[in-house]
Structure 1
Amino acid sequence: MMCRALRVSRSGFYRWLSCPDNRWKLKRQLITASVLDVYATFKARYGAPRIAKELAALGVSCSKNYVANIMHREGLRARNGKAFKYSHHSSAMINVAGNVLKRQFAVDKPNQKWVTDITYIWVKDRWLYLATVMDLFSRSIIGWSLDLTMTEKLNTDALQMAFIRRDIAPGLIIHSDRGVQYRAVKYQDLIRSKGGVVSMSRRGNCWDNAVMESFYSRLKVELIYAEQYRSIDEARSGIFEYIEVFYNRLRRHSALGYVSPAEYERICA
């Protein structure tokens, strides 16, 4: 009766009903991945209203209630939510460095100030973690690493790539947040072995590393949300192309007078 009223064939309806990835399920999967990604990007600071606003700004249309339903199903709560419980550990203050950078993002020479961070990328049914290192002089990504686990090896590998690519001198400032990976002894020893200076953002202040946060925001909008990768290999290939081909060599950067990082370094050289 319903098929007759809606003027659709019974066979077509049952085929749609039995399809494991019908369009509604697929839409929910895609939006769920976006919600998880925004939640992780803003480090559990955003609840459903703000996540819905963030998704709308990124071109993903969904209501606050729809986001709240997904968060409830995934067991996510914002830090300001009534049910969120803080867990204080004394280890959170171990190996914390001072904020040497102090938001002084302007640099007149390469390899004077680097910034680094880690972001989460949701791929199909699991997280992929990306660590990057940026030279503030040209805003070029000079080191990066992808992994399925977020350990000190992730950010150490990214830093090692940057050291291989660049000639550095003692006094180089390398700034990050206070994440446990950046407080690791092995990571900080690597910096100091090169004559570098460890710098960290103040507690809970993402603006102290605003340039790196801005890069991740553009990466998500211009690549991750648009592509919705279905496999780790696809994501790796896409991220490689975005960083090494598009962003570093082609993308015009407003802070550089609308030339690419590579072109800016060529002009200044």
Structure 2
Amino acid sequence: MNQFALCGKRPKEKYHSYKGDVGKVADNIINRDFSTEKPLQKWTTDVSQFNLPWGKCYISPILDMNTNEIISYNLSTSPNMEQIKDMLNKAFERFPSVQGLIMHSDQGWQYQHAFYRSELQKHGIIQSMSRKGNCYDNCIMETFFGRLKNEMFYGLEKDYPSFEYFSKAIAEYIDYYNNTRIQAK
């Protein structure tokens, strides 16, 4: 496989958003049941870090568990609440009526934050959180991050000389992922 350059490189370090109990931890309603009958029943979200020659970037997407589509995302040089607000605003602009939807995440500080919880409540969304330190509880999003990084990032870090170039590449990849890439259902 090395002969044909089919091996992905592994990251040196991983971003951990868990900072203890900084807010309210929601129950694990999904409980690894990722099945859905139609779109807009279950969404998942998380934050992932990219280490680039000029600094770090963080992506925060929302993925629909039925269609595997990235509903919205934000790319930022800092993992902060503004990133989460922007991601949510984009999702609610596309889908203003999501009453009863379940939003699943890990226990990162962003998802325990009062603003995040109140935005979900305001839109009638049920919050669900993975158990602490258990990546399998949010494996749908972890799988997306793995594909994203293997297909357009690992080994290509030097091809992105600035945030603007990297942001454009992420936008192109998400368009490809949502509209062209073949996916098993």
TM-score tier by shorter-chain length is 0.7 to 0.9
**Aligned with residue 243 of structure 1, among 152, 171, 174:** 174
Cα deviation, residue 113, structure 1: 0.4
Q: Secondary structure at the match of 1:198?
A: strand
Cα deviation, residue 168, structure 1: 3.1
The answer to whether the aligner puts 1:40 opposite 2:14 as a matched pair is: yes
**Aligned with residue 165 of structure 1, among 94, 97, 110:** 94
Cα deviation, residue 94, structure 1: 2.8
Q: Tell me the equivalent position of 1:198.
A: 127
The answer to whether the aligner puts 1:253 opposite 2:183 as a matched pair is: yes
Cα deviation, residue 169, structure 1: 3.4
AA at the equivalent of 1:121: F
Q: Secondary structure at the match of 2:111?
A: coil
Q: TM-score, normalised by structure 1?
A: 0.61
Cα deviation, residue 226, structure 1: 4.3
Cα distance in 2 for partners of 1:147, 1:169 equals: 26
The answer to whether the aligner puts 1:179 opposite 2:153 as a matched pair is: no
Q: TM-score, normalised by structure 2?
A: 0.87
Q: Tell me the equivalent position of 1:130.
A: 59
Q: Tell me the equivalent position of 2:75.
A: 146
More strand by share: 2
Q: Secondary structure at the match of 1:178?
A: coil
Cα deviation, residue 39, structure 1: 1.7
Cα 1:192–1:38 shift into 2, 3 Å: farther
Is the contact between residue 54 and residue 162 of structure 2 (CA under 8 Å) also seen in structure 1? no
Unaligned segments of structure 1, at least 5 residues: 1-33, 44-88, 257-269
Q: Report the identity percentage.
A: 34
Cα 1:182–1:247 shift into 2, 3 Å: same
Cα distance in 2 for partners of 1:112, 1:118 equals: 21
AA at the equivalent of 2:183: H
Cα distance in 2 for partners of 1:242, 1:249 equals: 10
Cα distance in 2 for partners of 1:144, 1:115 equals: 12
Q: Tell me the equivalent position of 2:25.
A: 96
Unaligned segments of structure 2, at least 5 residues: 1-8
Cα deviation, residue 93, structure 1: 5.7
Cα deviation, residue 92, structure 1: 1.8
Cα 1:38–1:104 shift into 2, 3 Å: farther
Cα deviation, residue 157, structure 1: 1.3
Cα deviation, residue 167, structure 1: 4.6
How many residues matched? 173
Q: Tell me the equivalent position of 1:18.
A: none
Cα distance in 1 for partners of 2:132, 2:55 equals: 28
Cα distance in 1 for partners of 2:67, 2:23 equals: 32
Cα distance in 1 for partners of 2:48, 2:105 equals: 12
Q: Which moved more, 1:113-122 or 1:151-160?
A: 151-160
More helix by share: 1
> Higher RCO, 1 or 2 (CA under 8 Å, sep at least 6)?
2
AA at the equivalent of 1:162: A
Is the contact between residue 173 and residue 197 of structure 1 (CA under 8 Å) also seen in structure 2? yes
AA at the equivalent of 2:13: Y
Q: CA RMSD in A?
A: 1.7
